[in-house]
Chain A
Amino acid sequence: MTTVRTHRPTSTPTVEGNVVTDVVTGTEQGTEAAVAAPPELIAGGTAPLVRRKRRRGGKLMDIAAPLAVFAGLIGLWYAVTYLLLDPGRRFLMPPPQDVITEAFLDGPTMEKIGEALWNTIQVTFTGLAIAMVIGISWAVVMSQTKVAERSLFPYAVALQCIPILALVPLIGFWFGYDFPARVIVCVLISLFPIVSNTLFGLQSVDRSQHELFTLHGAGRLTRLTKLQFPAAMPAIFAGFRISAGLSVVGAIVGDVFFRQGEAGLGILLDNFRSRLQGPELFATIIVAALLGIVTFIVFGWLGKLAVGRWYDTSRDAA
């Protein structure tokens, strides 16, 4: 290869390796609320890209301290039940042992909860899967050109700012009150963290690494698959983890609102509430909470599996 490059004085030379650490470009569109914080913070989750070493010798405290808080919370629960509520109003907050004996150890109740849980799980993960596909594609498109980012990012922020609850009636109005409508709620509610974290990850690549790829003639696709995607994996998984939790929320919220179709945990919650079935209501709430927690942990674990070899995810360890 022989290249001869003769240059006349020209105007602005282009700068290669279009690395942008400033992810938020919606400034002109008036999205100041979002501009102030990095995307993980907008999403209400933990900042994924901060590394921190765990202190040594804190192992026992790591377990004992949360357990102590747990014991305190149970104590508070008992206190409210027995000290604050008079027996006639105790159904508002039945004591823990009643929740266990009347709900968790009650066959028919658990069957109902199990069925509802399964429906909710299906809605949650279908919605999450769709949000992943849309969110990653959206971020990839934005990562390709500055124009695409400028035109599309404000709408991602808008999606985050609109209270999805306000859209739920409309979604029911358009799509009915069944499975598809519930999935749509989940997608809308869990999309933004995936979009923003993926974009942030794709743009987190060092300038010199981009230049290395430029020097050796890498095209867009090669750059995306061999450089940007692998580099973005920690951020993408942090996004997944936040979104998974939100998707559980979406599934239950949709359920509570629609009150039709296959009953999930939301409908069950509402039924128990209206029938003043305190222990059953509490059991369902606990199951819903566990679903959220387990989902969060599973995605943290998946992230560790995917990038833990080279990226320190100890900060995220649940």
Chain B
Amino acid sequence: MSAPATTRPAAATDTRVLHFRDVAKTFPDGTVALEGVDLDIRRGEFVTVVGPSGCGKSTLLRIASDLSPATSGEVQMDAKRIGYVFQDATLLPWRSVLKNVQLLGELHHMGKQSLNQASRDAIDLVGLTGHEKKLPRELSGGMRMRASLARSLTLDPDLFLFDEPFGALDEITRERLNDELLSMFRAKRFGALFITHSVSEAVYMSTRVLVMSGRPGHIVGSFDVPFGTDRTPELRFTPEFAALAGEVSHALREGHS
């Protein structure tokens, strides 16, 4: 992957992009999915929510992106553009990698020239150069997810929402994509809200880890991750990493019981 060409001015990095205050969500069938959720994300923050299946983690993203409204509370989204990365790559099977990456720019009526430039840069950033003409069915799961990331990157979002994007991948691919996503984060300094149920992935990726507990989903713990932005795979094997992952796991178990 190539080094970032541009870095954002420092002033822009601490703009708040997402604000939740006492947010709750009740489904029509009466299930309370979320209750009393407070959350603030600024640019340059990578916030991960870790929790058991069905605790309402994904609902958080759906509310943040306005795919599904909150039942009560205040939601404020200050991002000009959001990137939403789904559990599966959601590529259109009839479009080539390049055409898939260009889709969002088309939907936003981006100029042809800037879209071409943005797509090339994004494809380069996720390491898919040379695969532009391939169809999704010719790609591996990891490559599909890269194409999906590149698609969102073309919009240069201030806020990135990730709904367990690497959950279906094998561990090796997943760890590599973790590193690649981190270097994108370093390059672009967007705000990120990342959903996962892997504690190790959460600690490795984030500047802050939130632990969620289910029914109704609420946040039971918040951990600042002090490892800076330059992280290498070796970090996973340091005592500090293990200690923090242990604390997060503990909070997860406490919240679950």
* Chain A residues near B (Cβ < 8 Å): 1-13, 15-17, 206, 208-209, 211-218, 222, 226-227, 230-231, 233, 307, 309-311
Contacts and interface: CB of A to CB of B under 8 A. Distances in A.
Contacts of B108: 216-217
A10 B136 CA distance: 41
Nearest to B107: A216
Given A12-B28, A216-B107, A216-B108, A5 B69 contact: yes
Interface in B39-79: 65-79
19 contacts: A1-B79, A2-B76, A2-B77, A4-B75, A9-B72, A13-B27, A13-B68, A16-B68, A17-B67, A208-B87, A208-B88, A215-B65, A216-B104, A216-B107, A222-B107, A230-B92, A307-B94, A310-B93, A310-B94
B135 interface: yes
A234 to B, nearest CB: 10
Contacts of A2: 76-78
A226 B103 contact: yes
B106 interface: yes
Contacts of A214: 67
B62 to A, nearest CB: 8
Contacts of A8: 72
B86 interface: yes
Nearest to A8: B72
Nearest to B80: A1
A209 B106 CA distance: 15
A215 B92 contact: no
B84 A212 contact: yes
A19 to B, nearest CB: 13
B198 interface: no
Contacts of B24: 9
Interface string B186-199: 00000000000000
Interface of B: 24, 26-28, 65-80, 82, 84, 86-88, 90, 92-94, 103-104, 106-108, 135-137
A231 B77 CA distance: 32
Nearest to A5: B75
Given A3-B76, A3-B77, A230 B94 contact: yes
Contacts of A17: 67
Given A13-B68, A208-B86, 4 more contacts: A16-B68, A209-B92, A216-B104, A231-B92
Of residues A4, A217, A307, which shows the largest number of chain B Cβ atoms within 10 Å of its Cβ? A4
Nearest to B74: A6
Contacts of A307: 94
B75 A7 contact: yes
Contacts of B70: 5, 7
Contacts of B73: 6-7
A4 B74 CA distance: 8
A10 B93 CA distance: 38
B135 A309 contact: yes
B165 to A, nearest CB: 12
A101 B127 CA distance: 68
A207 to B, nearest CB: 10
A174 to B, nearest CB: 43
Nearest to B21: A6
B163 to A, nearest CB: 9
A181 B82 CA distance: 56
Contacts of A1: 79-80
A211 B86 contact: yes
Contact of B68 (A15, A206, A212, A231): A15
A5 B67 contact: no
B86 A9 contact: no
Contacts of A226: 103, 106-107
A215 B94 contact: no
A268 B136 CA distance: 52
A206 B82 CA distance: 21
B34 to A, nearest CB: 12
A318 B205 CA distance: 52
Contacts of A7: 69-75
A26 B104 CA distance: 36
B66 A212 contact: no
